[in-house]
A and B are shown apart, each in its own frame.
Chain A
Amino acid sequence: MAHQHAHPHTSPFHQGPRPHRPGRSFALVNGLTFAVHLLLACVAEDLLATRVAGQINLGVVAILAQGSLMLWSAARYDRAAAHEEAAYEPEGEH
């Protein structure tokens, strides 16, 4: 039940920064894929240069994929964070 996390009659700041699980998974997913992507760009240049369709190579595909991941995960995070805030609100009220 969500009630066991509640500290009734306190403001959000009073309990300090609360653990933000949707934010953590958003940060992890995007951070890790970016790190891997950056690493590939540094050490696996030939891999990224393999042509996929005409002049488009794997590197371009990877960049577009990373951008799309950011868009999709941002939408997910926004919805999840809104749900989490709605769950906290009833317990914060007197």
Chain B
Amino acid sequence: MLPQVLLAAGYPGTLDLDTDTRSWVLVGFLAFIVPILLICVLNGPERDRVDDFYTAGRRLRPVQGALVLTGVYLSAATVLGTTGTVAVFGFDGLFIALCTVLSLGVLLLLSGPLRERGAYTLGDTFALRTPGPAVRIAVAVVTLSACVPYLIVQLSGAGKTTAMLLGLSGPGAEQTAIVMIGTIVVCATAFGGMRGMIAIQVLKTVLLLAMAVAVAVVLLHRFHWSPDSLIEAAGRGSGRPEGYMRPGLRFAASSPVEGTLDFIGLMITVVLGVACLPHVATQLNTAPDAAAARRTVRHTIAIVGAICLLTTVLGFGAAALIGAPKILAADPGATSSLLMLTGDLAGGSSAQTGEAWLVVLVSCAVFLTTLAVVASVTLAAAGSVAHDLVTNVVRRGRTTEGREVAAARVASALVGVLSICLAVWVQGWNMGFLSTVSLAVASSCLLPALVYSLFWRGFTRRGLLWTLYGGLGCAIGLQVLSPVFSGSPMALFPEWDITWFPLQTVALVSLPVAFLLGWLGSVTGQQRAAALPKQHVRA
């Protein structure tokens, strides 16, 4: 993807910056990333306390918490993907950006009750009303099913970015880069815990904002501060000017009925899924209380809204200056558009050293974004393994704090290593659909389970288990049987054809099924959820 990025001519090849500029880029990059990782590790908890490792002592004020939550919320796939989708699909990209912001509304509704539970992981949240090892295992399975695909996508992207910045290309370089990045992140997570995470996320959000503003300013300056000329040029660049600012380009290749259903399904997946991703939901536990959690999410809406607005401007710029065909040729998932845009704004193949600062800024921002999200997803997944599986299922709650933190660190390493190995194994495949799988799992299993568990008194353990496993099976099963997995040239396995489910997005089916299963399981079961004993209320 990225070796072609900064080349104005557009044919595949190595990075066409002169050696001076490339060394500046590399130096700037290293001078930036290494201290950040050091900060992360040095900020780690001084004592081995579970509360410190998972929630940094629950002392995060709303504004700082909003910066952290924004960092957790906006992954590299979101930022790059939004830019690319706006560049290639116009209005549909704008709608997806809107849905990303609206998902925070869902999180806002869940934030108060979630924080009131005082949990470390989602397993804790559910186990408060429906205790038992079966619940913990189910939640851990779902958490890992949402986290591991997400990690693979992010690590693959990070591998490509690094390989490009080091001036290398080819699968071997990308795989080495994946291993390198993954190892650094795993160490940072294992040593730093949530405190290190907070430091990284704040830096990432600030850098992301600075980057978005800088590139947008340079871009708008190029277009003489006229949104009209920008949008018009973007329409021309996309190759489909009449349809660019109308809904429908994203699924234009499908039949009208399927296209409409896919459109609705995708938007619903994004709105309901991003808020329920495990690392996002558990991030709220760093707030001091429920009111602070709500305020944090409210401030996050403003920051995320601003960043999404800026990325849509950047998307228009990418379409206008690069053109959709070149973007898609570099990467079918259109995630290269931001970097290609930067390369063009910084002068293309005749980039002077003076303009390389923009390239450095964008590369650092993208890279730090990827690192931060990998770290936070790894922490959430590790928490699930260590806290839910090891502490509560295997050891049945009988463990010391020191041992639980040690288990969490080991789990971070294991989850990290697993994801690194998988990312290396699938390097070169078309992995874009994995982030959709992750969102589909979150929206189809975790959202119904959270809504029922937090707001419905009649929800039983049986209902919870049916929702989690049923939603998971439905989402993954339908995704495997969809055209995204096999049967079309863009699919993961183009030579197979096991398409039985006609739509690309599965949420339209799996979400109602999960809600139905939860309701059925609860009303037909014998037990009702236990009334909560008083001592479970945690401040």
Contacts and interface: CB of A to CB of B under 8 A. Distances in A.
Interface of A: 11-14, 16-17, 20, 23, 26-27, 30, 34, 38, 41-42, 45-46, 48-49, 54-57, 59-60, 63, 66-67, 70-71, 73-75, 77-78, 81-82, 85
Contacts of A63: 94-95, 98
24 contacts: A11-B537, A13-B116, A14-B531, A16-B457, A17-B113, A17-B455, A17-B456, A20-B112, A23-B109, A27-B109, A38-B267, A41-B263, A54-B228, A55-B228, A55-B245, A56-B231, A59-B94, A67-B101, A71-B302, A74-B104, A77-B108, A77-B294, A81-B112, A81-B291
B498 interface: no
A42 B260 contact: yes
Contacts of B309: 67
B100 to A, nearest CB: 10
Contacts of B245: 49, 55, 57, 59-60
A42 B263 contact: yes
B260 A59 contact: no
A12 B94 CA distance: 41
Q: Which of B246, B297, B309 has the most CB of A within 10 A?
A: B246
Interface string B68-109: 000000000000000000000001001100100110110011
B295 interface: yes
B248 interface: yes
Give the interface size class of chain B.
Answer: 35 or more
B247 A12 contact: no
Contacts, number: 110
Interface of B: 91, 94-95, 98, 101-102, 104-105, 108-109, 112-113, 116, 128, 227-228, 231-232, 235, 245-248, 260, 263-264, 267, 271, 290-291, 294-295, 297-298, 301-302, 305, 309, 454-457, 531-532, 534, 536-537
A44 to B, nearest CB: 9
B227 A41 contact: no
Given A14-B532, A17-B457, A55-B232, 4 more contacts: A23-B112, A34-B102, A57-B245, A60-B91
Contact of A70 (B102, B456, B537): B102
